[in-house]
């Protein structure tokens, strides 16, 4: 995802300035015997989180299965940068060919940010799986985050070598998962991007083959590139099944990054990623993609705090 430009930042500042009004406190209401608030009362966010947990407990088989519940803090700057001439990951030993006996599609429960189950919205109950490719090696050179890609801080992530073997394996695993689960939601790509038009076409074929498959994620391939235009066409044809956002732009199905932290839920017409805001506030609400769903339920742009 790409950094916001100076012009966009100025537009945001102007937008925020329009909304900064002086609030005059109303006169204090007369007290009618109500006891003063208990200073030890549970904060409203925590009460909401507990209520949400109780509501979820009533849904059979749908629960938050994440192994870890605390993700990184996003402060608006890159955690680590790569050399400008890097053409792949800075952790080449973490790139692996397809292996016998190890799935390339990973249960989203291994990711504190994503989660393994959709808990809300139209896809509630879907199982989430993730695919991780090699950053930069599969991405457009035009990506604004070429040097500061968040993969630079993901030393442990296993990246699957892209190519025909991976496509064959994906076809088998998607078929097995779609046969096993009522609904499958795949997050493309935790790292990396569509490396060719043929690879994009592979996913279109999978959507045709499996009615219970949906896809979400991001691409840095912009309008005017064969892959970027292809993504746009597929998304228009199936906006409820192929929810791939275009990075570095606002507007419908856009996403962009902020180079400053914020607690604001919205910047202009964009939603600021609730998982990041909750992580920065101490994970009070335990928000993750499975409990949020904005990326696939809503075509409004999403803003991410750079990390």
Binding footprint of ligand SF4 on the chain (CB under 6 A): 273-275, 289, 292-295, 302
CB of 13 to ligand SF4, least distance (A): 23
Answer for the pair 113, 275: CB distance below 8 angstroms, yes or no: yes
| Closer Cβ to ligand SF4, 82 or 273, answer by number | 273
Angle between helices 164-180 and 197-209 (to 10 degrees): 20
Q: Would you state the torsion angle of the CA atoms of residues 298, 129, 162, 195, taken in this order, to the nearest 10 degrees?
A: 0
Could you tell me how many residues make up the chain?
307
CB of 255 to ligand SF4, least distance (A): 9
Cβ atoms < 10 Å from Cβ of 12? 20
| Closer Cβ to ligand SF4, 137 or 295, answer by number | 295
Sequence-ordered strand ranges (E) for 85-206: 95-96, 106-107, 127-130, 159-160, 184-188
| Closer Cβ to ligand SF4, 12 or 273, answer by number | 273
| Closer Cβ to ligand SF4, 152 or 276, answer by number | 276
Cβ atoms < 10 Å from Cβ of 298? 14
Answer for the pair 129, 187: CB distance below 8 angstroms, yes or no: yes
| Closer Cβ to ligand SF4, 108 or 140, answer by number | 108
CB of 303 to ligand SF4, least distance (A): 9
CB of 294 to ligand SF4, least distance (A): 4
Nearest Cα neighbor of 213 from 178, 247, 244 is 178
Answer for the pair 105, 133: CB distance below 8 angstroms, yes or no: no
CB of 275 to ligand SF4, least distance (A): 3
Return the SS3 of 300.
coil
| Closer Cβ to ligand SF4, 140 or 274, answer by number | 274
CB of 140 to ligand SF4, least distance (A): 21
- Of the CA atoms within 13 Å of residue 222, those in its CB half-sphere come to 13
| Closer Cβ to ligand SF4, 206 or 287, answer by number | 287
CB of 70 to ligand SF4, least distance (A): 14
Residue 272, C-beta contacts closer than 8 angstroms, at least 6 positions apart: 258, 262, 264, 265, 266, 302, 303, 304, 305
Dist. CA 192–CA 159, nearest whole Å: 9
């Amino acid at each position: 995802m790409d950094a916001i430009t100076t012009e966009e930042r100025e537009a945001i500042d102007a937008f925020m300035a329009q909304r900064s009004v002086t609030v005059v406190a109303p006169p204090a209401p007369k007290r009618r015997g109500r006891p003063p608030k208990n200073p030890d009362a549970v904060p409203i966010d925590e009460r909401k989180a507990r209520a949400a947990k109780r509501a979820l407990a009533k849904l059979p088989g749908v629960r938050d299965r994440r192994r870890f519940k605390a993700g990184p803090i996003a402060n608006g700057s890159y955690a680590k940068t790569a050399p400008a001439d890097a053409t792949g990951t800075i952790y080449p030993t973490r790139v692996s060919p397809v292996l016998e006996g190890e799935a390339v599609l990973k249960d989203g429960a291994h990711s504190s940010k994503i989660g393994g189950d959709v808990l809300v919205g139209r896809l509630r109950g879907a199982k989430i799986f993730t695919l991780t490719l090699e950053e930069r090696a599969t991405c457009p050179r035009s990506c604004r985050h070429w040097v500061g890609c968040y993969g630079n801080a993901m030393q442990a992530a296993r990246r699957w070598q892209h190519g025909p073997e991976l496509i064959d394996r994906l076809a088998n695993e998607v078929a097995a998962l779609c046969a096993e689960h009522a609904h499958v939601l795949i997050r493309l790509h935790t790292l990396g991007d569509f490396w060719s038009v043929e690879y994009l076409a592979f996913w279109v074929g999978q959507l045709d083959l499996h009615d219970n498959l949906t896809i979400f994620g991001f691409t840095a391939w912009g309008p005017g590139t064969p892959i970027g235009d292809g993504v746009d066409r597929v998304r228009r044809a199936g906006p409820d099944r192929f929810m791939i956002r275009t990075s570095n732009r606002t507007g419908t199905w856009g996403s962009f990054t902020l180079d400053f932290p914020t607690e604001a839920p919205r910047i202009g017409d964009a939603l600021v990623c609730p998982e990041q805001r909750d992580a920065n506030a101490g994970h009070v609400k335990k928000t993750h993609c499975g409990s949020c769903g904005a990326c696939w339920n809503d075509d409004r742009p999403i803003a991410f705090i750079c990390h």
